Homo-oligomer: A and B are copies of this chain.
Amino acid sequence: MNSELSSQQVKDIGEQGLLERLQRFCPPEIIGDDAAVLVTAPEQSLVVTTDMLVDGVHFSNLTTSPEDAGWRAAAANLSDLAAMGASPLGITVGLGLTGEVSVSWVERLYQGMTECLQKYNTPIVGGDIVRSPVTTLAITAFGQVHPSQIIRRSGAVVGDAIVVTGVHGASHAGLELLLHPELGQNLKDTERTALIHTHQRPQPRLDVLPILWKILTPNVQTRLIASLLTPNSQLSVAGMDSSDGLADAIIQICRASGVGAVLERRQIPVPKTFNHWLTPEQGLEYALYGGEDFELVLCLPQDLASAFVQHLGEGAAIVGSIRAGSTVLLHDEQKKFPDQVLSLSQGFQHFDS
């Protein structure tokens, strides 16, 4: 990018000029009408989710490059689709900009968004650009899911295993390392970079859905699993993503399902590099309350859960089980720590109190 371009501000080219500049990030066939038209597959339900992000509240040039802000915004919405069991169809992007924002900042934001979206074959299908006193990003993502494969928070039943699709706490660790470079002096550069990258470029776990449905679909190769399914019952999976923290996800699922849960504190997977600079208790704190890991937290029968975790590979784990009642208990199988009741109001900073 030459210096003339990079110094250009939105007010120099106007919203219309900017729209034209951003069209290269959108499929050409959707441009030029009042709305975008998309083809959905037959017998699929539509899934819709929306997020709003405000400069200084949800992102900041101080800690986040425009590419990373774009990636993270796209990833968060795709993760909400994954949490419902849905495949993405497209997103719309509403953008409020001050006149002083540089054109290159906006292009880099779109670059980051499309880098994430392209990984999941998801187009930007519509948008709106308006003048605003504060940079604001409104993303709506829509996807499709077969009605029998919708994942809801409300489907957990007593006896279900609670599966996490990967390690937790890495995103928060990456943020801490960004904000406080003096932390983690024992970390190798590659380890530090990996944790920071996890924070900057979270991966929505759309990849686990085909694995999940393969495990859940009875067929001749999976006799064991088939025998668990009674012919007339629809096996359902409960779950959500852990974008607001693992503790939050499990509590939300339990609330929606009218059940309780017990978590085994030593089963909660954290990055291996945590033991180079964090105590196990700090690591657990990051995992439970750090948030933005964008893993899926799923409740399903124990045998299926074991097979599922095995297919998912490293990082995935059964972290506990659903039980009757309404409390979510953090339990230590080695009895070194007393049982602890988790609650939403507990929050990150109060965990040790």
Interface residues, chain A, CB within 8 Å of chain B? 32-40, 42-54, 56-58, 79-81, 83-84, 86, 89-90, 92-96, 125-134, 136, 138, 140-143, 145, 147, 150, 152-154, 240-241, 256
List chain B residues, Cβ under 8 A from A141. Answer: 35
Given known pairs A48-B90, A130-B52, A131-B54, the reply for A80 and B35 (CB within 8 Å) is yes
User: What are 6 A-to-B residue pairs whose CB atoms are below 8 Å?
Assistant: A35-B81, A37-B145, A38-B45, A48-B125, A50-B126, A54-B96
Are A46 and B154 neighbours in the complex by a CB distance under 8 Å?
Answer: no
A134 touches B131 (CB 8 A): no
Return the chain B residue nearest A37 by Cβ.
Answer: B45
Contacts of A127 in B (CB 8 A): 50
Cβ contacts under 8 Å, A80 to chain B: 34-35
A153's closest neighbor in chain B, by CB? Answer: B33
Shortest Cβ gap from A147 to chain B (Å): 8
In angstroms, Cα B131 to Cα A56, docked, is 10
Per CB-CB distance, the 9 closest pairs between chain A and chain B, nearest first, are A138-B138, A35-B49, A52-B94, A140-B140, A34-B83, A50-B92, A38-B46, A34-B80, A94-B138
How many angstroms from the CA of A42 to the CA of B147 in the assembled complex? 14
Contact B35 A153 (CB under 8 A): no
Contact partners of A143 in chain B: CB under 8 A: 35
Please, which residues of chain B bring their CB within 8 A of the CB of A126? 48-50, 140
* Complex-state Cα separation, A130 to B96, whole angstroms: 14
| CB closest residue in chain B, given A240 | B34
User: Which B residues lie within 8 Å of A154 (CB)?
Assistant: 32-33
Inter-chain contact B57/A36, CB cutoff 8 Å:
no
Contact B57 A46 (CB under 8 A): no
Residue of B nearest to A92 (CB): B50
Q: From A58, which residue of chain B is reached at the shortest CB distance?
A: B130
B131 touches A48 (CB 8 A): no
Q: How many angstroms from the CA of A153 to the CA of B136 in the assembled complex?
A: 30
Contact B46 A130 (CB under 8 A): no
Q: Is the CB of A35 within 8 A of B133?
A: no
Determine whether the beta carbon of A40 is less than 8 Å from that of B37.
no
Given A57-B131, A140-B140, A95-B35 contact (CB < 8 Å) = no
A58: which B residues are within 8 A, CB to CB?
130
Complex Cα distance A140/B33, Å?
15
Nearest-neighbor residue (CB-CB) of A94 within chain B: B52
Knowing A33-B240, A138-B138 are in contact, say whether A46-B40 is a contact too (CB < 8 A).
yes
* A84 partner, pick from B37, B48, B86, B132, beta carbons under 8 A: B37
Residues on the B chain within 8 Å of A56, using CB? 133
